[in-house]
Amino acid sequence: MALARRGTGLEATARAFLSQVHPVFMLPPLAASLFGALLAGTVDPTRAVVHIVAMFAAVYTAHVKDGYVDFHIRGEDDDHPLTERGCRLALALSTALFAGCCLLLYALVGWLPLALTLPTWVIAYHHAPQLDMNPVTATTGYPLGIALSLLGGFATQTAAIAAVPLGFALVFLVLLSGIKVIDDAQDYDYDRSIQKRTVAVLVGPARAYTLAYGLMTTALLVVVALALVQVFPPTAVLAALAFAAVALVARRATPELATMLLIRGSYVFLAVLVAAVWFEPLTGVL
């Protein structure tokens, strides 16, 4: 049986499998893992790579499962490059890769990074069709995965957890949840027609926007507050200011354009935070 829906042969199959690598949504979890490792101070490259590959496998699983459900089960999407058999094989391969990385993490470090990494696959696999039907889990699934990726990246280096990575994880969870509310608002009409209870469907687009920007504002204020009390580097305030500038522009845009701007703004936010920690290493993290 064919694995790709468009074309036959090795090249067509490879293109179909590679189509499930979506850089816009895949890079933040990988970057969060590396950021968590940098927070540890001294980075063991082998441990860092194993955890980053695990995050790649988890996000790839999410993309394949989401596409499989939306096209082959719900009929929501117009097209999908993989057949049902291709989706199942891709899920099996990504899960096997994830499991292998988890075993390596346990062997190299211990149980803590394993405990922080395993939930990312659970979230990824069950996002569709279970978690994306509830307004809370539909909104927080992806942000929680990134928060866990950051914590897992730190624990992979230290076999411990600390207040600073927890603070950063909380900031990303709240900030990205706000972005996700706006992202979901793009599909308000369709989601309402199939009784998919996103935040926008539950409270209406206008209130959803207010909630979303409230969440993002809260996250930025937390960054500033923690920088003022010297938990975060002082230059972390620059990250908050950079994202705030993007958010002000996005506020007047359509949900689709706002989502694009805010996601890219989150890249800038993370990049400035990485630079802040790189040039001003945090002391007393452990």
Please check whether residues 122 and 200 belong to one and the same domain.
Answer: no
Residue 286 pLDDT level (bands cut at 50, 70, 90): very low
Higher-confidence residue of 138 and 218: namely 218
- The CATH number assigned to the domain holding 145 equals 1.10.357.140
d(C-alpha 51, C-alpha 37), whole Å? 10
Q: How many CB atoms lie within 10 A of CB 24?
A: 11
Average pLDDT over the chain, rounded to an integer: 91
Please state, for a pLDDT cut of 70, what percent of the chain lies above it: 98
Q: Which of 161, 184, 200 is the last residue of a domain?
A: 161
Total domains, the chain: 2
| Pair 157, 264 in one domain | no
User: Are 86 and 188 contained in the same domain?
Assistant: no
Within a domain: 209: yes
Number of C-alpha atoms within 13 angstroms, CB side, residue 72? 17
- Ranges 172-181, 212-221, 226-235: which has the least confidence: 226-235
- Of the pLDDT bands very low, low, confident and very high (cuts 50, 70, 90), residue 280 is confident
Q: How far apart are CA 19 and CA 62, in angstroms?
A: 13
**Residue 7 included in any domain:** no
Range of the domain at 180: 162-285
Q: What is the pLDDT of residues 2-22, one digit of tens each?
A: 899 887 889 999 999 999 999
Q: How far apart are alpha carbons 214 and 217 in whole angstroms?
A: 5
> Please, which pLDDT band fits residue 118 given cuts at 50, 70 and 90?
very high
Q: Is 221 in the same domain as 276? A: yes
Dihedral sign computed on CA atoms, order 32, 246, 201, 218: positive
Angle between helix 163-185 and helix 135-158 axes, rounded to 10 deg:
150
Instruction: Give the CATH number of the domain where residue 218 resides.
Output: 1.20.120
In a shared domain, residues 63 and 108: yes
pLDDT tens digits for range 70-88: 888 887 778 889 999 999 9
Which tens digits make up the pLDDT trace of 128-138? 888 888 889 98
Task: State how far the alpha carbon of 244 is from the alpha carbons of 157, 175, 239, 250, in Å.
Answer: 32, 11, 8, 10
**Within this chain, do residues 51 and 76 fall inside the same structural domain, yes or no?**
yes
- Domain ends where: 161, 184, 206? 161
149 & 234 share domain? no
Same domain, 77 and 167: no
Determine, yes or no, domain membership for 46: yes
Say yes or no: 178 and 152 in one domain. Answer: no
pTM of the prediction? 0.92
pLDDT in tens, 246-268: 999 999 888 889 989 999 999 99
pLDDT in tens, 15-41: 999 999 999 889 999 999 999 999 998
Cβ-based neighbours of 50, under 8 Å, separated by 6 or more: 101, 104, 105, 108, 156
For residue 187, pLDDT over 90 is answered with no
